[in-house]
Amino acid sequence: MKNLKLILLTVLVIVAGPVIRANAQTWQVANSYSVAFSCDEASGIFTNVKASIIFDEQNLNSAKFSVNIDAGSMNTGNALMNKHAKSDEWLDAGKYPSITFASKKVVKNGGSYQVTGDLTLHGVTKEVSIPFSFKRAGSSATFTGNFNLKRSDFNIGKPGGKVDENVKINLSVPVNKA
């Protein structure tokens, strides 16, 4: 009897899995996104972000976020500061050209959500949790989130000095149904 239940459960997972994934909502990032960073000494944006987003607020188990940011696309509004920040002393964009995030799970947290996944920055991978909101408007929506990163967790810059240890990240990502 146990074997029969196990076989039926396995068949159900095999058959239902593709159906659940097919019903999951795929979103395409609009061009007006903003991935910004700030601390006391510097602030800026990343201008080249690619993402694959599957998100349905009714089926969080199917949610997947895969993000790739071109580290060399960082722009502080100051050419000299950009060059220094992209150098091997800070982001080392030549050696580590991509900043990536791959989600592991998404949970509802009151009226908002939280995505947990692996962030790879400056050759270091750490699990991070990012709180976010999701506002739908017809066939479009916007993901927004704010969180802090410790630059020493990713071996960015030298300890101490003039630059803050904590860097604020602000996200605003408008999306359209794909």
* pLDDT tens-digit readout, 8-55: 344 334 444 444 444 579 999 999 999 999 998 889 999 999 999 999
Determine, yes or no, domain membership for 19: no
Residue 23, pLDDT score: 57
pTM value is 0.84
59 inside domain: yes
The total domain count for the chain is 1
Domain-embedded: residue 74: yes
> 91 pLDDT exceeds 90?
yes
| Cβ burial 75-114 (10 Å sphere, 16+ → b, else e) | ebeeeebbeebbeeebbbbeebeebebebeebeeeeeebb
Strand blocks (E) in 64-111: 64-70, 74-75, 98-109
Residue 7 forms part of a structural domain: no
Is residue 164 over pLDDT 60? yes
CA distance 36 to 82: 14
In order of 58, 76, 140, 147, the CA distances from 128 in angstroms are: 23, 24, 27, 10
The CATH number covering residue 126 comes to 2.40.128.110
> Tell me, what's the pLDDT at 1?
53
Q: Is 22 exposed, middle or buried (0-12, 13-18, 19+ CB in 10 A)?
A: exposed
Tell me the mean pLDDT in the region 70-89: 95
Domain that holds residue 69: 25-177
In this prediction, residues 165-178 reach a mean pLDDT of 96
Q: Is residue 12 in a domain? A: no
pLDDT in tens, 97-150: 999 999 999 999 999 999 999 999 999 999 999 999 999 999 999 999 999 999
* Residue 16 forms part of a structural domain: no
Q: What is the pLDDT of residue 19?
A: 41
Pair 86, 121: CB distance under 8 Å: no
Check if the beta carbon of residue 4 is closer than 8 Å to that of residue 11: no
- Taking the mean position of all CA atoms in its chain, how far away is CA 88? 24
Pairing of strands 49-54, 26-29: antiparallel
In a domain? residue 2: no
Q: Would you state the pLDDT for residue 162?
A: 74
In whole angstroms, give the CA distance from residue 77 to residue 96: 21
Is 134 inside any structural domain?
yes
